[in-house]
Amino acid sequence: MKIKCITNLAKNIPPEILTNYTSPTSSIPLILDKQYIVYALSEYYQNTWYCICDESYTYHPMWIPQQFFQLVDNRISRYWVFSFKEDLDKNRFFFGFPEWAIQLDFYDNLTDGEQQEVQIFKSYKELMDLEFPDSSIPETAQTGDNEWLICPTCLDAWQYNDDRDALVKCPKCLKILNNPRYKNEYPRLMNK
């Protein structure tokens, strides 16, 4: 799932949503028109919240109300599962990777910098970062044959024949490239 920032000013958001979150005079560390990958999705204070890596990202994502964004690609990650989280005597919906969805204190441990949770998040983040198309990535990996891709930057070749991820990462120079084998099974689900 990908979203685009349409405001980074809290004053543009209804005050009832900002209750217990931030001051109406503050700005959120987001860049206007930038697209962000959603790493989890949940309900909180009767509102939908996206968990993203904002501009202050170090090792854990932040929860931000959906009113700051426009949905760009509404396909959910193949790494997500659905669960309910107990909160204030209510069950709220939650979409995220299994460890986060099942472990009640996963996010608390992640924000506390616990090594296991940080590593789990980092691993899923790397997978999800390659999952959906990114219009800011200009270059495409070259196909060598049915089994190989070639990096146009460093000319390294690696075995890769998967067509599920929109992006690939060169194992040598670590450059992110468009996957020439990508097959978008649901192109109509992408908003323009």
Strands laid side by side in the 148-150 sheet: 142-143, 148-150, 157-159
CB of 123 closer than 8 Å to CB of 116: no
Query: pTM of this prediction?
Result: 0.88
pLDDT band at 192 (very low <50, low <70, confident <90, very high): very low
CB of 60 closer than 8 Å to CB of 85: no
Q: Which amino acid is at 58?
A: T
State pLDDT tens for residues 86-140.
765 578 899 999 999 999 899 999 999 999 999 999 999 999 999 999 989 999 9
* The predicted structure's pLDDT at residue 20: 58
**What would the 3-class secondary structure string for the chain be?**
CEEEECCCEHHHCCHHHHCCCCCCCCECCCCCCCEEECCEEEEECCEEEEEECCCCCCCCCEEEEHHHEEEEECCCCCCCEEEEEEECCEEEEEEECHHHHHCCCHHHHHHCCCHHHHHHHHHHHHHHHCCCCCCCCCCECEECCCCEEECCCCCCEEECCCCCCCEEECCCCCCEEECCCCCCCCHHHECC
| Region of poorest pLDDT, from 33-37, 43-47, 66-70, 108-112 | 43-47
Across 14-22, average pLDDT? 68
Show the tokens assigned to 115: 């090594």
Question: d(Cα 56, Cα 69) in Å, to the nearest integer?
Answer: 17
Residue 17 clears pLDDT 70, i.e. is over it: yes
